[in-house]
């Protein structure tokens, strides 16, 4: 057990960098439309970099309105002529093929994910890539069983789905979007985030190798403007968006009055609640996993810690000790716990919030480790003595920053945890099953983890309450947004 006293004796690990040479990144990527690589009509390309070294990795095309139109037309054509008519069992086979090919190329995908996104290789190798493959396997299984999923309801596909994803789980979010859309018989135009396009473009190569009929999946790159053109295209039937609450609201406004179906997975500010009967050591590990292991780059990150007063001192002391042992630095090193912040803009935003918290009078505590001089890094940070009114408690920071509040009663903590515009997820740590059920039934959050945190499975639905969005992804529920009955 690590205590603050012995944490200074943490082991020094020799560097264990993952080899990068098998990851094939082209110098330039075009748009993947109708099964082919197409030059953008804008003639513009933008750099994509590694946030841990600031090196340029490649440049990718910026899709304009014309390109979006081309991609939507390809998707429509593939939908009407091929995909809609194909027996569901055959559609399933293609999805399984994609899943297997992701597994086969998992090492390469993991390396590229960590290079382009900054997350530790351990995360991308052990979580992102296998879970993305699992997602395709899971939905591949549903393709020919829709009438069993929704008996007597005659489920039908919608048509063309425009899917826009963020930078925190680039390949996994692409899988979350594409797999259920294909399984339900829809075709897709997908746009990855501008800072992390590379694994989605690798997925396009995989899709090409799988001989998926041209136009069934189109992958285009660009900024918010490209996303807006996808949303506003008149021939799109369904929009699936994961990203910020601000952009989610914009999208909702811009499709008002149209017949487009929409799912939004937006921001979060999850409460991680520790009762005084909790297994404290496990809870501390869960807190660290919830906010630090992923640089806080998770919509469901456990960014607000609530500790019952009786154990607050112990939890904070153990948390500080554990933070001292975290290894921060090169995402390609297998020992690294906390990688790079995804972009310079995001680091500036986090640093701004650190100033806000201090100005609000909170006690700031950071790991004493040093951080690399190049690249975008932020030390794991605690804000002790936080209250509901503080901005750092109310607003999504999307970085390794944890606010700590204390509470006395279960009613008080439910009230405080729910008193926020978001409602994506929460965590609870206690020895008592009855307390778990009492609390989970009153939490206004889409997912509540009990005595664990940040666990995902393709069979389990995920989605928000309030400003965290609506619609569910994952599980049988994740099929519904892509169907009409
Ligand atoms: P984040 O803060 O996670 O980067 P954003 O909402 O800014 O969240 O970005 C998520 C995705 O939405 C990205 O792929 C981005 O390019 C896209 N996007 C940004 N602005 C718009 C917009 N106005 N319409 C549609 N998509 C957009």
Q: Which residues share a beta bridge with 161?
A: 188, 238
Ligand 1 atom nearest residue 247's Cα: 6
To test ligand 1's pocket by mutation, which of 227, 344, 353 has the most ligand atoms within 8 angstroms of CB?
Answer: 227
Nearest CA to ligand 1 atom 20: 224
Query: Is residue 348 domain-shared with residue 377, that is, in the same domain?
Result: yes
Please tell me if the CB atom of residue 239 comes closer than 6 angstroms to any atom of ligand 1. Answer: no
Examine residue 328 and state whether it is found in any structural domain, yes or no. Answer: yes
Please tell me if the CB atom of residue 250 comes closer than 6 angstroms to any atom of ligand 1. Answer: yes
Q: Model confidence over 339-381: pLDDT tens digits?
A: 999 999 999 999 999 999 999 999 999 999 889 999 999 999 9
Q: Running DSSP on this structure, what letter comes out for residue 60?
A: E
Cα of 442 vs centre of ligand 1, distance in Å, is 32
Average pLDDT, the chain: 95
Residue 257 Cα distances to 14, 89, 254, 282, 468, angstroms = 59, 36, 9, 49, 22
Q: Model confidence over 393-449: pLDDT tens digits?
A: 999 999 999 999 999 999 999 999 999 999 999 999 999 999 999 999 999 999 999
Please tell me if the CB atom of residue 210 comes closer than 6 angstroms to any atom of ligand 1. Answer: no
| Mean pLDDT, range 203-232, rounded to an integer | 98
pTM for this model (two decimals): 0.96
**Buried b / exposed e along 210-237 (16+ C-beta atoms within 10 A):** bebbbbbbbbbbbeeebbbbbbbbeebb
Query: Is residue 258 domain-shared with residue 278, that is, in the same domain?
Result: no
Cα of 224 vs centre of ligand 1, distance in Å, is 5
- Residue in the block written with tokens 């890539």: 129
Examine residue 51 and state whether it is found in any structural domain, yes or no. Answer: yes
pLDDT bracket for residue 40 (50, 70, 90): very high
Query: Is residue 205 domain-shared with residue 293, that is, in the same domain?
Result: no
Domains contained in the chain, number: 2
- Is the pLDDT confidence value at 3 over 80? no
Return the closest-CA partner of residue 207 out of 129, 305, 97: 97
pLDDT bracket for residue 8 (50, 70, 90): low
| Integer Cα distance of 263 and 70 in angstroms | 24
| Integer Cα distance of 204 and 481 in angstroms | 23
Examine residue 5 and state whether it is found in any structural domain, yes or no. Answer: no
Return the closest-CA partner of residue 204 out of 215, 194, 320, 193: 215
Cα of 104 vs centre of ligand 1, distance in Å, is 31
Give the domain CATH number at 351. Answer: 3.40.309.10
Give the domain CATH number at 217. Answer: 3.40.605.10
- Is the pLDDT confidence value at 4 over 60? no
Q: Model confidence over 112-141: pLDDT tens digits?
A: 999 999 999 999 999 999 999 999 999 999
Q: 378 catalytic, yes or no? A: no
- Is the pLDDT confidence value at 258 over 70? yes
Examine residue 16 and state whether it is found in any structural domain, yes or no. Answer: no
pLDDT bracket for residue 47 (50, 70, 90): very high
- Is the pLDDT confidence value at 388 over 80? yes
Tokens of 247: 């952009």
Please tell me if the CB atom of residue 214 comes closer than 6 angstroms to any atom of ligand 1. Answer: no
Cα of 193 vs centre of ligand 1, distance in Å, is 7
Query: Is residue 282 domain-shared with residue 253, that is, in the same domain?
Result: no
Residue 230 Cα distances to 3, 79, 200, 432, angstroms = 52, 17, 17, 48
Weakest-pLDDT range from 2-16, 56-70, 431-445: 2-16
Query: Is residue 337 domain-shared with residue 258, that is, in the same domain?
Result: no
pLDDT bracket for residue 255 (50, 70, 90): very high
Query: Is residue 234 domain-shared with residue 308, that is, in the same domain?
Result: no
Residue of 265, 396, 467, 473 marked catalytic: 265
| Mean pLDDT, range 17-44, rounded to an integer | 96
| Integer Cα distance of 170 and 455 in angstroms | 18
Return the closest-CA partner of residue 318 out of 329, 334, 307: 307
Query: Is residue 146 domain-shared with residue 189, that is, in the same domain?
Result: yes
- Is the pLDDT confidence value at 7 over 80? no
Examine residue 19 and state whether it is found in any structural domain, yes or no. Answer: no
- Is the pLDDT confidence value at 1 over 70? no
Q: 299 catalytic, yes or no? A: yes
Please tell me if the CB atom of residue 46 comes closer than 6 angstroms to any atom of ligand 1. Answer: no
Cβ neighbours for 94, distance < 8 A, ≥ 6 positions apart: 182, 210, 211, 212, 216
Please tell me if the CB atom of residue 255 comes closer than 6 angstroms to any atom of ligand 1. Answer: no
> Residue 326's CB: how many other CB atoms inside 10 A?
18
Examine residue 128 and state whether it is found in any structural domain, yes or no. Answer: yes
Task: Collapse the DSSP code of 61 into the 3-class scheme (helix H, G, I; strand E, B; otherwise coil) and give the result.
Answer: strand
Cβ neighbours for 276, distance < 8 A, ≥ 6 positions apart: 308, 309, 310, 311
Query: Is residue 110 domain-shared with residue 156, that is, in the same domain?
Result: yes
Look at residue 12 in the predicted model and tell me its pLDDT: 78
- Residue in the block written with tokens 């009929």: 213
| Mean pLDDT, range 307-314, rounded to an integer | 98
Query: Is residue 140 domain-shared with residue 158, that is, in the same domain?
Result: yes
To test ligand 1's pocket by mutation, which of 60, 224, 268 has the most ligand atoms within 8 angstroms of CB?
Answer: 224
Query: Is residue 252 domain-shared with residue 279, that is, in the same domain?
Result: no
Would you say 257 and 179 are in contact if contact means Cβ atoms under 8 Å apart? no
Would you say 362 and 392 are in contact if contact means Cβ atoms under 8 Å apart? yes
Please tell me if the CB atom of residue 72 comes closer than 6 angstroms to any atom of ligand 1. Answer: no
Please tell me if the CB atom of residue 224 comes closer than 6 angstroms to any atom of ligand 1. Answer: yes
Query: Is residue 399 domain-shared with residue 433, that is, in the same domain?
Result: yes
Examine residue 367 and state whether it is found in any structural domain, yes or no. Answer: yes
Query: Is residue 226 domain-shared with residue 277, that is, in the same domain?
Result: no
Which domain does 214 fall in, by range? 28-266+468-484
| Integer Cα distance of 198 and 48 in angstroms | 8
């Amino acid at each position: 057990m690590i205590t603050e006293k012995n944490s200074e004796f943490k082991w020094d690990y020799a560097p264990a960098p993952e080899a990068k040479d098998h990851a094939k990144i082209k110098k330039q990527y075009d748009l993947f439309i109708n099964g082919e690589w197409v030059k953008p009509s804008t003639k513009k390309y933008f750099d994509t970099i590694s946030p841990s070294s600031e090196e340029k990795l490649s440049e990718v095309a910026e899709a304009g309105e014309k390109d979006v139109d081309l991609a939507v037309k390809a998707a429509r054509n593939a939908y009407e002529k091929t995909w809609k008519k194909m027996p569901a069992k055959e559609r399933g086979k293609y999805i399984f093929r994609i899943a297997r090919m992701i597994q086969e190329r998992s090492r390469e995908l993991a390396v590229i994910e960590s290079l382009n996104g900054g997350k530790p290789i351990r995360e991308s190798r052990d979580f992102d890539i296998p879970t993305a493959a699992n997602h395709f396997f899971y939905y591949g299984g549903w393709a020919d069983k829709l009438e069993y999923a929704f008996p007597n309801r005659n489920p039908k596909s919608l048509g063309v789905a425009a899917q826009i994803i963020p930078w925190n789980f680039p390949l996994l979010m692409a899988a979350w979007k594409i797999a259920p859309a294909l399984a339900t018989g829809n075709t897709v135009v997908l746009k990855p985030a501008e800072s992390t396009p590379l694994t989605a473009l690798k997925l396009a190569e995989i899709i090409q190798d799988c001989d998926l009929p041209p136009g069934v999946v189109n992958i285009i790159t660009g900024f918010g403007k490209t996303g807006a053109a996808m949303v506003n295209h008149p021939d799109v039937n369904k929009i699936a968006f994961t990203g910020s609450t601000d952009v989610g609201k914009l999208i909702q406004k811009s499709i008002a009055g149209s017949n487009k179906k929409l799912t939004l997975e937006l921001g979060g500010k999850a409460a991680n609640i520790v009762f005084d009967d909790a297994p404290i050591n496990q809870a501390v590990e869960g807190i660290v996993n919830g906010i630090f292991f992923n640089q806080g780059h998770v919509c469901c990150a456990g960014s607000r810690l609530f500790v019952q007063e009786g154990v607050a001192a112990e939890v904070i002391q153990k948390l500080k000790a554990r933070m001292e042992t975290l290894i921060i630095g090169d995402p390609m090193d297998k020992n690294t716990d906390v990688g790079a912040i995804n972009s310079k803009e995001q680091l500036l935003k986090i640093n701004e919030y650190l100033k806000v918290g201090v100005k609000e009078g909170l006690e700031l505590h950071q790991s004493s480790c040093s951080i690399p001089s190049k690249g975008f890094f932020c030390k794991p940070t605690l804000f002790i003595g936080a209250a509901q009114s503080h901005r750092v408690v109310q607003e999504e920071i999307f970085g390794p920053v944890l606010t700590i509040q204390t509470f006395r009663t279960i009613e008080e903590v439910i009230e405080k945890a729910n008193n926020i515009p978001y409602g994506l997820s929460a965590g609870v740590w206690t020895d008592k099953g009855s307390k778990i059920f009492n609390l989970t039934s009153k939490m206004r959050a889409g997912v509540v983890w009990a005595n664990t945190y940040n666990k995902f499975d393709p069979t389990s639905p995920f989605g928000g309450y309030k400003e965290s969005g609506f619609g569910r992804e994952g599980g049988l529920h994740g099929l519904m947004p892509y169907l009409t009955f």
